[in-house]
């Protein structure tokens, strides 16, 4: 089709990415310095590559930047922390951030609601969509993140506004970028798979001087799947420069430039599961069916630049300043289906032939211009006094975020927009397009925090801190008069809102030996109405939601430190949740939500050649108090007493690999999730599922060959959903990869 061809240029993006990386590597190859013997070790010469997660000993590099701003041993962080490292990501052939997060129990994926697009993640029962960070700085853009430029993904669980500011009710997700190193190395990889899956990556690092280095990572992909029509055509480049390595003053400048040209999949509509009940589930369509328009698209332009200056004032004091600038543009035009109707009348059910059911394709056409500026200065000082050691961390943050939404509408007739669920046609949008409104929202942040870790003795430590944050948001609305036949825009303007919130945190750690760390912690967070840098007249003047959590846990190194075991029990309360009043017309902060749970994890080696990464999380989420009563298909259903949406009671993951010889590695894993509700009224749900994956790899000094089988049993299940729709997961997929290092 002409429109599709215009959006997707004919030159394969994967070839562009590989060419760019190889050109960079070739330009420096003649000046390359030989690596040391230790640096030159490859998997075939060493023990099984280690996957680290919640490791607790500093000598095992069990550190994380989340939980304390600077690199800190995980055993000294009084919260649950999971680190998914590069080896884990590569062994599973994970391509996106969402792929890598499937390894973390307690995380679920949600569908976009209203203006929400890109990664939409739930952590411990609460949305973490604005709680994604890049090297410790808020990465607020609404885009689909790739892992090509990452060394690891850190997940800090529990309310954490003391360190990170607004949001973080369920925790935060920090992307750790690849950084330039003082050695030359190049890695080029290619993956091909079933259903026209093609992806290439490259990672080139060059030592520029004795104290500086440059690195560039690139990727390109053209991915189809077992889902009809859905397609991802993306590429990106992440260059970085690092100066002053191993000197008192170090400067790092990096960028992330990514272009996504995707045809999105909004899945299946929901109908009642029987003629008498009120629970809705996705229609029983074939797993490959696509109900959107052929010219649906998510076109995303991501531009992020970061700079870090770190100076060691003395052996006991370090000062750091970090800046992030981003400017992202998203053209989003998907077409999720609306309410299903049945030919001849009556309530549509799962038992009805699909040819009797139809639904309108809905309009979600908008262009988003998203800008962010964030500057953060942190100081960490170690002090001795009174037989105790203090690790004092303090800092200030300033930021400005701007989001401009251009909303477009179509005058497509109802007959042209309707699609038969049993015989869908792949149509191009008909009618005309017009700009309906423009809303520009600006949010300013000014914050300061202080945190102290007090080593009372070798066994006992206290952690306490507080953050004060002023958050101010305002919106400008412009609506346009449209010709006859277009829907009228009735959006009301919202008023500015400014508030100052204090977020404390405290914890106590008992470490009887180097292998154990027991902790008890209390954390808080807050969610202002303009947390996503969007506002509505109904919510703009509401005070921020407040959250608090209590967690107790243990981090324990077993098998002489080779295997890390963790456990935690927790309770998180949102004490003034936003909801609609009993009449369904006014937004109020009169709700209360509670999530109780516990989790268990294991990560590391059982033997020198057998390693595991796994965990289990139990979540009991409840709406304890709410005046909200459903409307429409959920009329007269009270939210109070219902379970929280997108919070399965049970989630579990396990990934294990073993070396059966010096060159051969085998492995596999399982993902398990219980069923979950998709709204506040227990009237829409998706079933639980069990998924199996497997891998086989041949490892040599310079070459790695790997076969991955994803969704091995070809399980048909729904991973993403909301009250009106759910999207099937990709079916069985085989991926063959080759990685060449030189």
Least confident range from 341-345, 413-417, 602-606: namely 413-417
Handedness of CA 517, 521, 526, 527 (dihedral sign): positive
pLDDT of 585 reads 73
In which band, very low, low, confident or very high, does the pLDDT at 613 lie, cut at 50, 70 and 90? very high
pLDDT of residue 419: 94
Arithmetic mean of pLDDT, 554-574: 96
Q: What is the mean pLDDT of residues 272-276?
A: 73
Q: What is the model's pLDDT at position 332?
A: 92
What's the rounded Cα separation, in Å, for the pair 559 and 571?
Answer: 31
Per-residue H/E/C for 316-361: CEEEEEEEEEEEEEEEEECCCECCCEECCCCCCECCCCHHHEEEEE
What pLDDT does residue 275 have?
A: 58
Q: Does 288 have pLDDT greater than 70?
A: yes
- For residues 489-514, average pLDDT: 96
Q: Is the pLDDT of residue 7 over 90?
A: no
Average the pLDDT over 129-139 and give the result.
Answer: 94
Nearest alpha carbon to residue 728 among 321, 225, 114, 316: 225
Return the structure tokens found at 51. 């996957």
What is the tens place of the pLDDT at every residue in 66-82?
777 888 889 999 999 99
CATH, range 2-741: 2.40.170.20
Whether 56 shows a pLDDT value over 80: the answer reads: no
Instruction: Give one DSSP letter per residue of 426-437, joined into a string.
Output: -PPP-S-EEEEE
Q: What pLDDT does 277 receive?
A: 67
Q: Say which range, 557-561, 615-619, 643-647, 721-725, has the weakest mean pLDDT.
A: 721-725
Residue 483 has pLDDT above 60, yes or no: yes
Report the pLDDT value the prediction gives residue 392, as an integer from 0 to 100.
Answer: 96
Give residue-wise pLDDT tens across range 150-189: 999 999 999 999 999 999 999 999 999 999 999 999 999 9
CA-nearest of 735, 691, 695 to 714 is 691
Q: What is the DSSP letter of 35?
A: P
Rounded Cα distance, 439 and 444, in Å: 17
pLDDT class of 28 with cuts at 50, 70, 90: very low
Decide if pLDDT at 352 tops 70: yes
Does residue 320 contact residue 377 with C-beta atoms inside 8 Å?
yes
Q: Which tens digits make up the pLDDT trace of 521-548?
A: 999 999 999 999 999 999 999 999 999 9
* pLDDT-based confidence at residue 276 (cuts at 50, 70, 90): low
pLDDT at 264: 84
- For the chain, helix, strand, coil in percent to 5 are 5, 55, 40
Q: Do residues 349 and 340 touch, judged by C-beta distance below 8 A?
A: no
The answer to whether residue 269 scores a pLDDT higher than 90 is yes
The verdict on pTM exceeding 0.95 is no
> Among 12-26, 182-196, 294-308, 582-596, whose mean pLDDT is lowest?
12-26
Residue 18 clears pLDDT 60, i.e. is over it:
no
Q: Half-sphere exposure of residue 525, counting CA atoms within 13 Å on the CB side?
A: 27
490 has pLDDT over 60: yes
DSSP letter, residue 643: B
Q: Binning pLDDT at 50, 70 and 90, where does residue 3 land? A: very low
φ, ψ for residue 680 (rounded to 5)? -80, 0
Mean pLDDT for the stretch of residues 194-223: 97
Q: Give me the mean pLDDT over the 486-491 stretch.
A: 91
Instruction: Give me the pLDDT at residue 111, please.
Output: 55
Contact status, residue 434 vs residue 409, Cβ threshold 8 Å: yes
The pLDDT of residue 584 is 72
CA dihedral 679, 684, 689, 695 (to 10 degrees): -60
Say if residue 484's pLDDT is above 70: yes
Residue 32 has pLDDT above 70, yes or no: no
Asked if residue 99 has pLDDT above 60, the reply is yes
Residue 203 is predicted with a pLDDT of 98
pLDDT in tens, 372-419: 999 999 999 999 988 899 999 999 999 999 999 999 999 988 777 899
* pLDDT per residue as tens digits for the range 614-672: 999 999 999 999 999 998 888 889 999 999 999 999 999 999 999 999 999 999 999 99
Average pLDDT value for the chain: 89
Kindly tell me if the per-residue pLDDT of 595 is higher than 60. Answer: yes
Q: Indicate whether 11 pLDDT > 60.
A: no
* pLDDT tens track for 425-441: 988 988 899 999 999 99
**pLDDT value of position 45:** 33
Which range among 22-36, 194-208, 344-358, 488-502 shows the weakest confidence by mean pLDDT?
22-36
pLDDT over threshold 90, residue 51 = no
Integer Rg of the chain from CA: 26
Per-residue model confidence (pLDDT) at position 53: 38
Q: How confident is the model at residue 362 (pLDDT cuts 50, 70, 90)?
A: confident
Q: What ranges do the domains of the chain cover?
A: 2-741
Instruction: Provide, rounded to the nearest whole percent, the portion of the chain with pLDDT above 90.
Output: 77
What 3-state class would DSSP assign to 133? strand
């Amino acid at each position: 089709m002409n429109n599709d061809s215009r959006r997707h240029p004919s030159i394969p993006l994967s070839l562009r990415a590989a060419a760019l990386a190889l050109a960079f590597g070739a330009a420096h190859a003649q000046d390359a310095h030989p690596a040391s013997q230790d640096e030159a070790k490859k998997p075939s010469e060493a023990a099984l590559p280690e996957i680290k997660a919640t490791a607790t000993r500093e000598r095992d590099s069990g550190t994380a930047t989340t939980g304390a701003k600077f690199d800190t041993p995980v055993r000294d962080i009084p919260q649950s922390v999971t680190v998914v490292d590069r080896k884990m990501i590569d062994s599973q052939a994970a391509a996106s951030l969402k792929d890598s997060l499937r390894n973390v129990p307690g995380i679920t994926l949600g569908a976009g609601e209203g203006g929400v697009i890109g990664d939409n993640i739930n952590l411990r029962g609460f949305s973490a969509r604005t709680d994604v960070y890049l090297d410790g700085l808020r990465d607020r853009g609404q885009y689909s993140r790739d892992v090509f430029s990452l060394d690891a993904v850190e997940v800090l669980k529990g309310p954490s506004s003391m360190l990170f500011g607004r949001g973080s009710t369920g925790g935060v997700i920090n992307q750790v970028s690849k950084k330039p190193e003082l050695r030359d190395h190049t890695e080029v990889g290619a993956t091909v798979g079933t259903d026209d899956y093609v992806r290439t990556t490259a990672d080139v690092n060059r030592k520029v001087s004795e104290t500086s280095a440059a690195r560039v990572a690139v990727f390109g992909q053209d991915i189809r799947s077992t889902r009809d029509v859905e397609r991802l055509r993306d590429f990106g480049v992440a260059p970085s420069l690092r100066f002053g390595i191993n000197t008192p003053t170090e400067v790092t400048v990096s960028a992330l430039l990514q272009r996504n040209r995707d045809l999105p999949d909004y899945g299946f509509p929901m109908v009642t599961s029987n003629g008498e009940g009120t629970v809705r589930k996705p229609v029983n369509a074939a797993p490959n069916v696509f109900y959107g328009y052929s010219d649906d698209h998510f076109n995303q332009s991501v531009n992020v630049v970061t700079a870090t200056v770190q100076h060691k004032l003395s052996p006991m004091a370090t000062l750091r300043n970090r800046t992030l600038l981003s400017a992202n543009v998203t053209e989003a035009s998907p077409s999720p289906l609306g309410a299903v109707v049945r030919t001849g009348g009556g309530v549509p059910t799962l038992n009805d032939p699909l040819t009797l059911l139809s639904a309108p394709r809905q309009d979600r056409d908008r262009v988003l211009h998203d800008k962010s500026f964030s500057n953060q200065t942190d100081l960490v000082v170690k002090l001795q006094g009174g037989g105790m050691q203090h690790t004092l961390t303090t800092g200030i943050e300033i930021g400005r975020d701007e989001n401009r939404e251009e909303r477009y509408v179509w005058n497509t007739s109802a007959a042209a927009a309707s699609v038969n669920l049993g015989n869908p046609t792949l149509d191009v949008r008909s009618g005309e397009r017009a700009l309906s409104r423009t809303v520009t929202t600006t949010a300013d942040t000014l914050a300061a925090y202080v945190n102290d870790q007090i080593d009372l003795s070798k066994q006992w430590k206290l952690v306490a801190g507080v953050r004060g944050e002023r958050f101010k948001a305002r919106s400008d609305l412009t609506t346009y008069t449209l010709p006859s036949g277009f829907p009228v825009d009735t959006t009301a303007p919202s008023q500015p809102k400014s508030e100052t919130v204090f977020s404390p945190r405290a914890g106590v750690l008992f470490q009887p030996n180097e292998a154990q760390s027991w902790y008890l912690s209390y954390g808080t967070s807050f969610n202002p109405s303009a947390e996503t840098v969007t506002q509505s007249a109904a919510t703009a003047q509401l005070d921020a939601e407040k959250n608090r959590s209590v967690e107790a846990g243990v981090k324990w190194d077993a098998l002489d430190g080779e295997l890390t075991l963790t456990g935690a029990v927790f309770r998180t309360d949102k004490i003034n949740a936003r909801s609609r009043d009993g009449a369904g017309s006014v937004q109020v902060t009169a709700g209360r939500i509670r999530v109780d749970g516990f989790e268990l994890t294991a990560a590391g080696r059982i033997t020198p050649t057998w390693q595991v990464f796994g965990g289990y999380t139990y979540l009991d989420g409840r709406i304890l108090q709410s005046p909200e009563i459903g409307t429409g298909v959920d009329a007269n259903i009270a939210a109070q007493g219902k379970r929280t949406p997108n919070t399965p009671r049970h989630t579990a993951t396990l990934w294990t690999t073993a070396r059966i010889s010096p060159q051969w590695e085998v492995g596999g894993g399982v993902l398990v999730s219980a069923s979950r509700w998709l709204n506040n009224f227990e009237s829409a749900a998706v079933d639980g599922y069990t998924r199996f994956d497997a891998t086989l790899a041949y490892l040599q000094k310079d070459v790695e060959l790997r076969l991955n089988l994803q969704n091995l049993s070809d399980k048909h299940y729904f991973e993403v959903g909301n009250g009106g729709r759910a999207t099937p997961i990709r079916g069985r997929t085989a991926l063959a990869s080759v990685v060449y290092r030189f």
